[in-house]
Structure 1
């Protein structure tokens, strides 16, 4: 595995993990509110900073975005604190 491949794998994992708690928090916000908007967009900024600081090509941005959306969906569906 080359250096760039390793960096891409790390950013992919970070995209999912960073979005999990924000997806979970989004569950408790009113749709289209400022808090809802923040829960969706704050992790994108962090992933963009990581991508830019590692000089990862723009071609991988859609992959990171898709994995961020996946992290949001998984986080939103986490059964933490729910009684059965």
Structure 2
């Protein structure tokens, strides 16, 4: 799998977590869990896909992670 397909999967994985994070009270226990819960899945996805942890992959993956969280929270605010 290539970098963009893995980044897209990371984006999709973070959508529901961003949605739930937006529904929780800021800086609460649930809020922190919704931010950090997808991290083991992202690491497993990187390892299983053979992408590894090369330095050039970090900006793309971090952007996909935060974009998924942001869009999920945005969908919660506009109630789509």
Q: Give the shorter-chain TM-score range.
A: 0.7 to 0.9
Q: Give the TM-score normalised by the residue count of structure 2.
A: 0.82
Structure 2 portions without partners, runs of 5+: none
Rg: which structure is higher?
A: 1
Which residue does 2:18 correspond to in 1? 23
How many Å apart are 1:50 and its aligned residue?
0.5
Q: Which runs of 5+ in 1 are unaligned?
A: 1-5
* Residue 53 (1) aligns with residue 25 (2): no
- 4+ runs deviating over 6 angstroms: none
How far apart in 1 are the matches of 2:73 and 2:21?
A: 7
Deviation at 1:53, TM superposition (A): 1.8
TM-score by length of 1: 0.78
Count of residues in Structure 1 that have an aligned counterpart in Structure 2: 76
